[in-house]
Amino acid sequence: MTMAPTPRHIPDRLNGSFLRRLKSWETLLLAVAAAIFTFNALASPYFLDPWNLSDATFNFTEKAMIALAMALLIIAGEIDLSVGAIIALASVAMGAARQMGVETTGLVLIGAGVGLACGAFNGFLVAGLGLPSIVATIGTMSLFRGIAYIILGDGAYGGYPASFAWFGQGYVWGAITFELALLAVLAVVYGVLLHGTNFGRRIYAIGNNATAAAFSGVRVRRIRMTLFMLTGLMAGIASVCLTSRLGSTRPSIGMGMELEVITMVVLGGVAITGGSGTILGVMLAALIMGLITFGLGLLNVPGVVMSIFVGILLISVIALPRLLERMRR
């Protein structure tokens, strides 16, 4: 068999990209977000007030920052359950440093640095020692939170400088908060990182088949380590924002936040088994969760009901495509 004299032509892509976008998960999420927005606007006269809307962004901005890095981690087939505890440890570290007279710049660096260090420790356990990430980070979840409790006991740290408050309470332009602006910038950075760089491509390869990725010369352990460090760093940054917004530190800060972050990532269309998902999806999911929480809050629905709502939403959004698929057969 000889090589064909004129090579056959294989098109780059088959479907037009417009059609593909129309059928995507992100389109579904956008429709859900628009529906909830419309419903909220009709149900409550206070919803469309810009300052109310701006306030409402606080219930997802910090979580969404962590969700950006967590999305990369989950796409790579790993997970980090310790992010809530990292927030607590970073916050306690900032509180303790404040007691020693550290100023705003130092506090921010400490918060982010502790997050980065915690992430590096998780990365060491998973990428270095080869522990399964779900087990390793359940362990560090208790460990980090435990250290926070030992340092702080039942007390609270406060007395943060006025300039520190800006990170959680400041506005950059009109009703746009610093946190929302930071999230927007980070979302663009992570979007480019995941979808436009070598690093992002390798994340997908690892998440789909880590063995084949390693056999293709991808430095799998180094990338896993980097992803855990990024997740820790984002938890540290979220801790700065949250501590600044609350103005005080208790050891229970950020408790249970890891599950909300992971919910956001999964709702955003990231496969919990790894290998697929987009930053746009995760950000839309963050928006949806924020809108639901805010809308139900305006209607004076208690928090417990909100969590039921989010649970039902998550299950139905995940189940719907599979049910449709099954009905088609």
User: Can you give the binding site for another protein, defined by CB under 8 A?
Assistant: 1-4, 7-8, 10-14, 192, 196-202, 204-205, 208-209, 211-219, 275-276
In whole angstroms, the minimum distance from the beta carbon of 176 to another protein comes to 28
**CB of 95 within 8 A of CB of 240?**
no
Pairing of strands 171-173, 176-177: antiparallel
Nearer to another protein among residue 6 and residue 300 (C-beta): 6
d(CA 55, CA 149): 30
Nearer to another protein among residue 85 and residue 218 (C-beta): 218
Residue with tokens 């030992």: 150
In whole angstroms, the minimum distance from the beta carbon of 12 to another protein comes to 5
Nearer to another protein among residue 97 and residue 210 (C-beta): 210
Q: Write phi, then psi, for 217 (nearest 5 degrees).
A: 85, 10
d(CA 268, CA 283): 7
In whole angstroms, the minimum distance from the beta carbon of 212 to another protein comes to 5
In whole angstroms, the minimum distance from the beta carbon of 19 to another protein comes to 13
In whole angstroms, the minimum distance from the beta carbon of 116 to another protein comes to 21
Nearer to another protein among residue 202 and residue 250 (C-beta): 202
Q: Token pair of 131, please?
A: 């522990």
Residue 63 to residues 84, 142, 210, 236, Cα–Cα distance (Å): 10, 20, 28, 11
Q: Token pair of 171, please?
A: 């506005």
Residue with tokens 């088959």: 14
Nearer to another protein among residue 3 and residue 100 (C-beta): 3
